[in-house]
Amino acid sequence: MKSVKEIDHFYLDKDEPLKSCLLTLKDIILDYNLEFEPVWKYRLPCFMYQNKIFCYLWVDRKTQHPYIAIGKGVKIDHPDLIQGNRTFVKLLMINPEEDIPIEKIHKIFDMAMKLYD
């Protein structure tokens, strides 16, 4: 029997609709760029690009809503990204009760990809 990795536990241990939302976000991220590599790093499900963290997924403690943390996000100007007191990433909050804004995610990723050239 194959053992379940920590990264799989992150997704599978959640209740619905959070679990489905996170799994869908993972698929959206991996489908965006075939060079993205999913890894478990810093106890987070990260998506690496050119050996750097492009983004990671996490769940807000207060709202229990998932978010995509965009690496190099502080260099991106988009009205839906939240910086707060972070110095590296900005967050895109996702409501698991609503349709996932795939076009918005792709637009932000397009902006982020330009920072890797």
Average of per-residue pLDDT across 29-52:
96
Could you tell me which residues come within 8 angstroms of residue 109 by beta carbon, excluding any fewer than 6 positions away? Answer: 32, 33, 55, 70
Other CB atoms within 10 Å distance of the CB of residue 24: 16
Fold of 6-116: Aspartate Aminotransferase, domain 1 (3.90.1150)
Average of per-residue pLDDT across 46-59:
97
Query: Are the beta carbons of 40 and 58 closer than 8 angstroms?
Result: no
| Per-residue pLDDT, 6 | 85
| Per-residue pLDDT, 4 | 59
Structure confidence by residue, pLDDT tens digits, 60-87: 999 999 999 999 999 999 999 999 888 8
Q: Give the N- to C-terminal CA distance of the chain in Å, as an integer.
A: 42
Question: Among all chains, which residue has been given the structure tokens 């918005």?
Answer: 104
